[in-house]
Structure 1
Amino acid sequence: MNQGLIPSRYAKALFEYASEHDCDKLVFERMQALSEAFASEPSLVKAVRNPYVSRRDKIQLLTTASGSTEGDSAMTRFMELLADNNRLDMARDIALAYLKIYRREHNICLVTVTSAAPMAEAEEKRLKQLIQRHLGSATMEYNHLINPDLIGGFQVSIDNEKLDASVANELKQLRLKLLN
């Protein structure tokens, strides 16, 4: 079976359950924390895949990484379901799939602005306003990253769209023109 299909099915089932129990936003926040934990701590993947780490420890590790508390029955029950079905190693992919489903259902666009240096507050505010105008009624989940390799300018990614107004891209385009 397709590796992407299984996480999507689990994420969809979790979203439906969370929506019915009016905790979809809380689960969204927990899944964000879990995906960030996987991104910032590569050893988390190794621990979850390690056959010598007990099921209980894996569940505890993942619930802690998601920021769950004793009262988060949805997350605890979900982690136990994953453990019962030997799917704990897919927790990261399920979290990412859940985030995608939640954003789609709530009309939230993931916006990432990458600039070569920190932007002035007024400049960033103006850029946010332009992006919001482009998005219309959609809500913006905004992230700003710094990448000095851009040399100057910025890149804007909105879900799968990308606008590259960086000096590095201009130089790349110029090199391509010179080669032709």
Structure 2
Amino acid sequence: MMGSTVARRYALALFQIAKEHQILDQLEEELRVVQEAVRNNEDLQAVLKSPKLTKEKKKEILATAFANVNPYVLNTLKLLIDRHRENMIADVAYDFLELTNEEKGIADAKVYSVRPLTNEEKEAFSSSYAAKVGKKSLRIKNIVDTDLLGGIKIRIGNRILDGSLKGKLDRLQRQLLG
């Protein structure tokens, strides 16, 4: 998901504060947790969207839910609520993580395979494919997909590198029919 221009501004401000105070890694981890919580917790989404709750009550709920996060992160979340931008929390986190990845030369990659990859295999993919996309390394998330039949499929940003048996069979079928 790509955040809006407004979400990007909030993320950039938080990113600059994190760099200034040398807490980029800490805020990155905390914002990953915030992003997951907001995206995957339907109850939290309902609370944030509820017109019946006051801004103060929403801020109190967020302060309780994210009691262990850095004050900069919590203040950003509260600011988003004050400005009626609760729906942008996940986008701000996403944009912050993108800025962090750019700063570190890292790209997020999803590797689809028939079986779970070992750490050595993940490192090998990271070192061999990172240079192809102009990055220092890849942060790999392995997704087991039994429909592949064999091989792997890698998604890095908007690029998809399909070396799966299913992908090869699909390409062969299109070639034969076309």
TM-score normalized by the length of structure 2: 0.82
- In structure 1, what is the Cα distance between the partners aligned to 2:64 and 2:145? 31
Matches within 5 A, 1:142-161: 142-161=140-159
**Stretch of structure 1 that moved more, 6-15 or 109-118:** 109-118
> How many matched pairs?
176
- In structure 2, what is the Cα distance between the partners aligned to 1:106 and 1:120? 24
Q: Report the alpha carbon displacement of residue 126 of structure 1 after superposing the two structures with TM.
A: 3.9
1:126-175: CA deviation from partner (whole Å, max 9, x where unpaired): 43443356567713322111111222211122333321111221222122
1:27-70: CA deviation from partner (whole Å, max 9, x where unpaired): 111111112223432443332111123324433444565x5517
Residue 31 (structure 1) aligned with residue 31 (structure 2): yes
- In structure 2, what is the Cα distance between the partners aligned to 1:147 and 1:57? 42
Q: Which amino acid aligns with 1:84?
A: D
TM-score normalized by the length of structure 1: 0.81
Instruction: Describe the shift of the 1:155–1:28 C-alpha distance in structure 2 as closer, same or farther (beyond 3 A).
Output: same
Instruction: Describe the shift of the 1:152–1:85 C-alpha distance in structure 2 as closer, same or farther (beyond 3 A).
Output: same
Partner of 1:164: 162
Partner of 1:177: 175
Q: Which amino acid aligns with 1:52?
A: K
- In structure 2, what is the Cα distance between the partners aligned to 1:124 and 1:106? 18
- Please give the secondary structure, in 2, of the residue aligned with 1:99: helix
- In structure 1, what is the Cα distance between the partners aligned to 2:119 and 2:91? 35
- In structure 2, what is the Cα distance between the partners aligned to 1:123 and 1:171? 24
- In structure 2, what is the Cα distance between the partners aligned to 1:28 and 1:143? 17
- Please give the secondary structure, in 1, of the residue aligned with 2:163: strand
**Stretch of structure 1 that moved more, 98-107 or 119-128:** 119-128
Partner of 1:69: 68
Instruction: Describe the shift of the 1:28–1:10 C-alpha distance in structure 2 as closer, same or farther (beyond 3 A).
Output: same
- Please give the secondary structure, in 1, of the residue aligned with 2:22: coil
Q: Percent identity?
A: 26
Structure 2: state its 5+ residue gaps.
none
- Aligned-pair Cα RMSD in Å: 2.6
